[in-house]
Amino acid sequence: MGKSIKINKGLDIRMVGEAEKVTVSPDGVDTIVIKPTDFHFLAPKCLVNPGDEVKAGTPLFYSKKHPEVKFCSPVSGEVVEVVRGEKRRLMSIKILADKETRYLDVQVPSLETASKEEIISTLCENGLWAYIKQRPFDVIANPRVAPKGIFISAFDSNPLAPDLDFALQGYGPEFQKGIDVLAKLAPVHITAHTEKTKSDVFLKAANAQIHTINGPHPSGNVGVQIHHIDPINKGEVAWTVNAQDVAIIGRLFTEKKYNAIRVVAITGSEVNRRRYAKVITGTPLKALLQDNINTTHPVRIISGNVLTGTQESMDGYLGFYDNQVTVIPEGYEPQFFGWILPGFGKFSMSKTFFSWLTPSKKYTLNTSLNGEERAFVVTGEYEKVFPMNIYPVYLLKAILANDIEKMEELGIYEVAPEDFALCEFVCTSKIQTQAIVRQGLDTLMIETE
């Protein structure tokens, strides 16, 4: 039996715009884009040129540091564009997709007899290693370092997040296969929500330890779960995989091909038809949002959720790890004496706005900063949304002071930027905590190499 965890700290941001539980298969996916920039700290080496023909599963680029880790095309077709940025950094690769996807045949070892090394090399070779990330540092896992466990969150607690029970409906066998594969590498831990998770895909998964957690966001963040199940010490490594990506890994072994299909929630107050869409990694956002968003005022299109997602335009593409697209209004006009109005319609964790009298109301949040950046003044605020035994402000200050020893002592190995997203959301002083944490992790990553 796994652990049963209860957290009280945290905050569910109540937004308008959840997706209806209907799955559509969008057409008009004629190009897809793979962006090496989705993989933090990756130095890619490109393997294709414009004009090359690729199949689904053909490597597009690999990691210079770990050349065995390859990144493959999810579709077949012609490479039409290789975009490079400053210093010839590889930014993105665009592929004109065939109508019928042709897959590269994959040789997979039998799970019963395969060694760890064989499985790792199969995953690396076929572009699936990218789905396995590691703590510390929140980057693609180093295949040469054995982890103490592989952690999977069975639910997503972010604002408007997709219901993973629903997203994995019908993909149970593939998910289980994925778990079987991962269990060959390290003990697998799945954490389910006591109320939200109902699917047997998670609750009855074999070859894994099932834990339960109860509480508001960030209970679905795998970092929080690891912290309560088996916290990471200096020198230790834990791997994390998104639930849907486990199914993609499983598919490699059941279908013997790289089939990066996933179900993505189209959410946000500015989307007209909010649904789930079955798409391939790197899908153009246009296919999901064309004629589907409110055009009366400027909107922000986000690949991912409102806390950790990436700003994209209508011509952008779905991020590699993203299960969700969110469209919200851009910030409205300045508000006259806004700081003193009663604020019935304003969402806030604090009770300084009367909106706390309506605890179940959902809000249309826009991108307004709602204030200006200031020094740290208010204390105890981050602690209310940070369910780890870590002092968030002290850790942030250690990072700002570039004090490596203090960062280690204060627990930087246990956190990822996403764990600080709520701190950033509630911050009175509007400090960009996620960027600070990222900076600290990068410093340590360079230091420990």
Partner 1 sequence: MKALRNFMEKKLEPNFKEGGKLHKFWPLYDGFATFLFVPGHVTHKGVHVRDSIDLKRTMSMVIIAMIPALIFGIYNTGYQHFLALGEQAGFGQAFCYGLLKVLPIIVVSYGVGLGIEFLFCIIKKHSISEGYLVSGMLIPLILPADIPLWMVALAAAFAVVIGKEIFGGTGMNILNVALVARAFLFFAYPTYMSGDVWVSMKGEHRKGYEITEAAKADVLVDGYTGSTLLGQTANAEFNGTFKNVAGEDITNSVFSDAFFGFIPGSIGETSTLAILIGAFILIVTGVGSWRIIISTFTGAYLMGLLFNLVAGDNLYMAVPAHYHLVLGGLAFGAVFMATDPVSAAQTNIGKVIYGLGIGVLAVLIRVINPAYPEGVMLAILFFNVMAPVIDYFVVQSNINKRVKRFKLATNGTK
Q: Which stretch of DSSP H or E encloses residue 443?
A: helix 433-448
Q: CA–CA separation, 402 vs 423, rounded Å?
A: 20
CA 243 to centroid of chain Cα atoms: 10
Nearest approach, Cβ of 308 to partner 1 (angstroms)?
Answer: 8
From 55, 433, 440, 444, residue interacting with partner 1 (rule: CB under 8 A): 433
From 242, 318, 424, 440, residue interacting with partner 1 (rule: CB under 8 A): 424
For residues 380-409, which are near partner 1 according to CB under 8 A?
A: 380, 383, 389-391, 393-394, 409
Nearest approach, Cβ of 382 to partner 1 (angstroms)?
Answer: 10
- Residue 279 vs 307, nearer CB to partner 1: 307
Using CB under 8 A as the binding rule, whether residue 44 contacts partner 1 is answered as no
- Residue 75 vs 302, nearer CB to partner 1: 302
Q: Which residues are CB-neighbours of 260 under 8 A, at least 6 positions away?
A: 56, 74, 248, 280, 281
- Residue 254 vs 348, nearer CB to partner 1: 348
Radius of gyration in angstroms for the set of CA atoms belonging to the chain, rounded to a whole number: 22
| Contact stretch for partner 1 (CB under 8 A) within 32-40, 57-65, 213-221, 332-340 | 332-340
377: alpha, beta or left? (left if phi > 0; alpha if psi -120 to 50) = alpha
For residues 281-320, which are near partner 1 according to CB under 8 A?
A: 300, 302, 306-309, 311
For residues 195-224, which are near partner 1 according to CB under 8 A?
A: none
323 is written with which tokens?
A: 């299960």
| Contact stretch for partner 1 (CB under 8 A) within 86-94, 119-127, 190-198, 430-438 | 430-438
Tell me the number of residues near partner 1 by CB under 8 A.
74
The answer to whether 230 touches 23, Cβ cutoff 8 Å, is: no
Using CB under 8 A as the binding rule, whether residue 183 contacts partner 1 is answered as no
Nearest approach, Cβ of 411 to partner 1 (angstroms)?
Answer: 6
Nearest approach, Cβ of 374 to partner 1 (angstroms)?
Answer: 5
Using CB under 8 A as the binding rule, whether residue 376 contacts partner 1 is answered as yes
262 is written with which tokens?
A: 């996933």
Nearest approach, Cβ of 290 to partner 1 (angstroms)?
Answer: 21
- Residue 106 vs 349, nearer CB to partner 1: 349
From 23, 214, 370, 439, residue interacting with partner 1 (rule: CB under 8 A): 370
79 is written with which tokens?
A: 């490479």
Q: CA–CA separation, 69 vs 248, rounded Å?
A: 17
Beta strands 139-140; 310-312: pairing state: unpaired
| Contact stretch for partner 1 (CB under 8 A) within 53-61, 89-97, 121-129, 341-349 | 341-349
- Residue 253 vs 425, nearer CB to partner 1: 425
Residue 277: strand pairing partners: 24, 264
| Contact stretch for partner 1 (CB under 8 A) within 24-32, 84-92, 274-282, 374-382 | 374-382
Q: CA–CA separation, 303 vs 272, rounded Å?
A: 17
- Residue 181 vs 238, nearer CB to partner 1: 238
Q: CA–CA separation, 159 vs 305, rounded Å?
A: 7
From 264, 427, 441, 444, residue interacting with partner 1 (rule: CB under 8 A): 427
The answer to whether 378 touches 350, Cβ cutoff 8 Å, is: no
- Residue 122 vs 326, nearer CB to partner 1: 326
- Residue 131 vs 347, nearer CB to partner 1: 347
269: alpha, beta or left? (left if phi > 0; alpha if psi -120 to 50) = alpha
- DSSP designation for 293: B
- Residue 104 vs 306, nearer CB to partner 1: 306
In the chain, the largest separation of any two C-alpha atoms, in whole Å, equals 70
Work out whether the CA dihedral 241, 242, 246, 249 comes out positive or negative.
Answer: negative
From 233, 272, 358, 402, residue interacting with partner 1 (rule: CB under 8 A): 233
Could you give the dihedral angle defined by the CA atoms of residues 28, 93, 23 and 179, in that order, rounded to the nearest 10 degrees? 150
Q: Which stretch of DSSP H or E encloses residue 252?
A: helix 243-254
From 27, 49, 369, 449, residue interacting with partner 1 (rule: CB under 8 A): 369
Where in 165-288 does DSSP place strands (E)?
Answer: 188-193, 209-214, 238-240, 261-267, 276-280
| Contact stretch for partner 1 (CB under 8 A) within 93-101, 202-210, 281-289, 325-333 | 325-333
Q: Around Cβ 18, how many Cβ atoms within 10 Å?
A: 16
Nearest approach, Cβ of 7 to partner 1 (angstroms)?
Answer: 16
Using CB under 8 A as the binding rule, whether residue 37 contacts partner 1 is answered as no
For residues 87-116, which are near partner 1 according to CB under 8 A?
A: none
| Contact stretch for partner 1 (CB under 8 A) within 250-258, 277-285, 286-294, 331-339 | 331-339
Q: CA–CA separation, 21 vs 265, rounded Å?
A: 9
The answer to whether 74 touches 258, Cβ cutoff 8 Å, is: yes
